[in-house]
Amino acid sequence: MIAKAISTLKQCDRKIGICGQAPSDYPKFTRFLVEEGIDSISLNPDSVLKTLLEIAAAEKGSEK
């Protein structure tokens, strides 16, 4: 459902972001969001560095 929401808004040339606990707690979910093309992710302060590193790895992997 999240992938569908992201792709639908991208097709409509709209930005999409997410807030909540999941991106802060689950690196695989963060990677999924990046791979789907999410525009922004809201994070808990204690997880910013860890999540930024995960985002950078996901973006680097998608450049292949």
- pLDDT surpassing 80 at residue 63: no
- pLDDT surpassing 90 at residue 62: no
- pLDDT surpassing 80 at residue 18: yes
Buried b (16+ CB within 10 A) or exposed e, 35-53: eeebeebebeeebeeebee
pTM as predicted:
0.84
User: What total of structural domains would you count in the chain?
Assistant: 1
- pLDDT surpassing 90 at residue 64: no
Q: For residue 28, what are the domain limits?
A: 2-61
pLDDT in tens, 22-61: 998 999 999 999 999 999 999 989 999 999 999 999 998 8
